[in-house]
Structure 1
Amino acid sequence: MSLIIENLYKTYGKKNVLNNISVNFQAEKIYGLLGNNGAGKSTLLNIINNRIFDTKGKINS
């Protein structure tokens, strides 16, 4: 089973946190998220886990 994220956006008020994120996570592989503080890593994981909702985009599993 893979996880496909297409054109994902998340905004808080006027601040864009995630802007047009597209990625395809393949089954049976290990991935890491790297980035500076405030890059959107936790926001992306929270959207994938349905803890928060995206502004626009699609996640297929």
Structure 2
Amino acid sequence: MAVPKKRTSISKKRIRKNFWKKKAFWTTLKALSLAKSVSTGNSKSFFIEQKKRIES
């Protein structure tokens, strides 16, 4: 027979939420850092094809 699950405590829910937020925060920091290094041309781990400018 099916039995309803026990309710998750608010503190446990908050801990899990904060863990997820922390993970997302570090991911966005890394992405921003990579974007900055690519835009300035200082990236050593990310290769981007540079277009040649045609001067007329």
TM-score bucket of the superposed structures, by smaller chain: under 0.3
Structure having the larger proportion of residues in helix: 2
TM-score (norm 2): 0.25
TM-score (norm 1): 0.23
Structure having the larger proportion of residues in strand: 1
User: Does 1 or 2 have the higher relative contact order (CA < 8 Å, sep 6+)?
Assistant: 1
